[in-house]
Amino acid sequence: MPNLKDLKNRIESVKSTRKITKAMQMVAAAKLRKAQEAAEQARPYAEKMSIVIEKLAFSTNASSNSPLLVGNGKDKTHLIIVATSERGLCGAFNSSIVRLAKNHINHLISDGNHIKILTIGKKGREQLKRDFGDYMIEHVDLSEVKKISYDNASNISDNIISKFFDNEFDIATIFFNQFESVISQIPQSSQLIPIKFKSDELTNDDNISNFVYEPDEQEIIEDLLPKAISTKVFTALLENGASEQGARMSAMDNATRNAGEMIDKLTIQFNRSRQAAITNELIEIISGAEAL
Amino acid sequence: MSKELFNFELVTPEKVIVSGSVSSVSIAGVEGDMTIFANHSPIATAIRPGYIDINSDSKSEKYFLTGGFVQITGSDVVVLAEKASLENEVNLEMIEKIINRTKSSMEKATDLQKCVLAKKLNDLTIIKNQL
């Protein structure tokens, strides 16, 4: 049985842990609001961009399409981009992305494909290094970045695109967490190159043909495709940012609650031990008095 | 001049900068400058680096765009720009940064992209010299 001093120390230490987790939860809540706002504000651009590209993609002649749109005709080398967080203590946030990516990678390898991995965020790299260290080609460090800007995303996508034109890979897929709510973040994958859209079916109904394009469709789409890919990366990073804070908030909420429970238990144990000690002393005094 | 208004939006990846009714918008399109009034015919064009003038009844605003895309449908005009800064925020350092970036992305571009980028570079240099 631990003595009173030890128990007291443990209660103190759990209390300070609870203070830390509580503070982290509140910080995460504040950051979550900002991250959600950023994701919200980025949505109109992403939506409009994908509408424009979709229209253009369907109206341009399929034979002269850009490789970014139709691929380079091969599908043997896959670039897997895994976006995770730079910091831990956010529950299953990173593991869930890594798990999805790992499944995908194993699946691709068993089908005889070549794999290259690009990681964004320290945590994902650490987890993937164990199994797929040989495949990792690059790491993007965003630990110095406080607020993710479009420039960060376009740097990443420029890098990816130039690799694509160097024939380093055929298909690029990004893995990230889609923010649903504070308690639910859904790990997702989204194909970057060749770029894919949500609706695959032809939408011929609206006034595509009425548009006059300046200069021509082909040139516009060449200009817009890299931007559309940057936008996709940016969206993924923002969703990830919001998810990370959400995951951290609920993880820290849990930790705070657990710490509270632990303190209650330890306090009961402490009180019992103290009472036992007092009773013991009383018995000793009484039996001492009786002996006289 | 007619005072008819139309919906205009200036959207960047980071946020919607302008959204509302305006009376006219002047844009530096790749095929030449143009001013859009209400009931413009549907057109979609790329934007070269340059300034965009947004005039509504009460005020007019001027932004610098590093490039982008404008889509005009019957009632709406939407400008998608990678970066929009207010006119007074534009400085030499910023333009040079963009020029350097454009140059570096040119090295690995396809021929068609090179053509687009070269035009962009040219426009940026002109703007730089004007500052």
ipTM: 0.83
pTM of the model: 0.87
Identify whether the C-beta of residue A251 lies closer than 8 Å to the C-beta of residue A17: no
**What are the residue ranges in chain A where pLDDT is below 50?**
63, 200-202, 204-205, 207
Residue to mutate among A43, A48, A60, with most B CBs inside 10 A, is: A48
pLDDT value at position B1?
Answer: 52
Answer yes or no: is pLDDT of B105 > 80: no
Residue of B nearest to A226 (CA): B113
Q: Residue A174, by phi and psi: left (phi above 0), alpha (psi -120 to 50) or beta?
A: beta
Write down the residue that tokens 């009844």 correspond to.
B57
- Give the pair of three-digit tokens for residue B63: 């932004």
The verdict on B80 touching A (C-beta cutoff 8 Å) is yes
Res. B103 pLDDT band, cuts 50 70 90: confident
Among the partner-chain residues B42, B80, B112, the one whose CB lies closest to the CB of A45 is: B80
Hey, are the CB atoms on A41 and B42 less than 8 Å from each other? Answer: no
Among the partner-chain residues A150, A207, A223, the one whose CB lies closest to the CB of B14 is: A150
The model's pLDDT over A78-119, given as tens digits with 9 standing for 90+, comes to 999 999 999 888 988 999 999 999 999 999 999 989 999 999
Residue A285 neighbours by CB distance under 10 Å: 10
Residue A7 neighbours by CB distance under 10 Å: 19
The verdict on B73 touching A (C-beta cutoff 8 Å) is yes
Distance (Å) from the C-alpha of residue A29 to the closest C-alpha of chain B? Answer: 21
Hey, are the CB atoms on B15 and A165 less than 8 Å from each other? Answer: no
Hey, are the CB atoms on B83 and A223 less than 8 Å from each other? Answer: no
Q: What is the mean pLDDT of residues B3-10?
A: 87
Pick the CATH number of B6-86 from 3.30.420.40, 3.60.15.10, 2.60.15.10, 3.40.50.1860: 2.60.15.10
Mean pLDDT value across chain B? 85
Domain chopping of chain A, boundaries: 4-21+252-287, 35-250
Identify whether the C-beta of residue A83 lies closer than 8 Å to the C-beta of residue A174: yes
- B108 chain-A contacts, CB cut-off 8 A: 162, 165-166
Hey, are the CB atoms on A48 and B41 less than 8 Å from each other? Answer: no
Phi, psi of B60 (to 5 degrees): -135, 140
Say which residues have a Cβ less than 8 Å from residue B87's Cβ, sequence separation at least 6. Answer: B51, B62, B63, B64
Identify whether the C-beta of residue A130 lies closer than 8 Å to the C-beta of residue A117: no
- A158 chain-B contacts, CB cut-off 8 A: 105
Hey, are the CB atoms on A212 and B43 less than 8 Å from each other? Answer: yes
The verdict on A42 touching B (C-beta cutoff 8 Å) is yes
Among the partner-chain residues B42, B45, B113, the one whose CB lies closest to the CB of A210 is: B42
> What span, in angstroms and rounded, lies between the C-alpha atoms of B70 and B81?
8
Q: How many residues does chain A have?
A: 292
The model's pLDDT over B61-80, given as tens digits with 9 standing for 90+, comes to 899 998 888 988 878 899 99
pLDDT value at position A197?
Answer: 66
Residue A41 neighbours by CB distance under 10 Å: 16
- B102 chain-A contacts, CB cut-off 8 A: none
Phi, psi of A176 (to 5 degrees): -160, 175
- A162 chain-B contacts, CB cut-off 8 A: 105, 108
Say which residues have a Cβ less than 8 Å from residue A149's Cβ, sequence separation at least 6. Answer: B14
pLDDT value at position A251?
Answer: 94
Domain chopping of chain B, boundaries: 6-86, 91-130
Hey, are the CB atoms on B31 and A215 less than 8 Å from each other? Answer: yes
CATH homologous superfamily of A35-250 equals: ATP synthase, F1 complex, gamma subunit (3.40.1380.10)
* B96: nearest Cα among B63, B62, B131: B131
The model's pLDDT over A256-266, given as tens digits with 9 standing for 90+, comes to 999 999 999 99
